[in-house]
Copies of this chain bind each other. A is one copy, B any other.
């Protein structure tokens, strides 16, 4: 759908980083007037709702520099160039949690913040987790701690805002409403 399309008049490339790019587009609005749009380009991401055989949910706690605090989140990671989301999902699950699974199924996908960023995140469900004997190592500059919680514990974490991000709040609501952990 291209309703209310904003035509690009000019693009100014401001920053090209390792994770994000920033550009400012001059646009022509539907009424013929002009405006500017600040746009973050992001490679996209995956996240995994991972459930153990004893019906616990696997989270990772990590420091989030933009917030200057750590959050408890479902395992996730950025897409590498030309990588299938399903491949990224399996890799991040194994690297961050030490678990693997035969089957990952897509639950949903969504843009995290469509007003200023193009980041799209794919959310998978992993049941029947099996512990890897020799899990692959993750990124050198990532420090994460694995935390396994029951659904009730996870709901308490949401209330206390230790779980406090879009994909993880969605995951907890999804598990609650699906009845999967009953």
Contacts and interface: CB of A to CB of B under 8 A. Distances in A.
Interface string A1-32: 11111100000001101111010110101110
A117 B117 contact: yes
Nearest to A39: B66
A96 interface: no
Interface residues of A, number: 75
A66 B40 CA distance: 7
Interface in A139-180: 140-141, 143-145, 158, 161-162, 164-170, 173-174, 176-177
A117 B24 CA distance: 17
Nearest to A45: B115
A41 B138 CA distance: 27
Interface in A67-84: 67-71, 73, 76, 78
B36 A1 contact: no
Interface string A73-116: 10010100000000000000000000000000000111111111
Contacts of A17: 24, 38
A42 interface: yes
Nearest to A35: B141
B19 A165 contact: no
Contacts of A18: 36, 38
Interface of A: 1-6, 14-15, 17-20, 22, 24-25, 27, 29-31, 33, 35-42, 45, 61-71, 73, 76, 78, 108-119, 121, 140-141, 143-145, 158, 161-162, 164-170, 173-174, 176-177
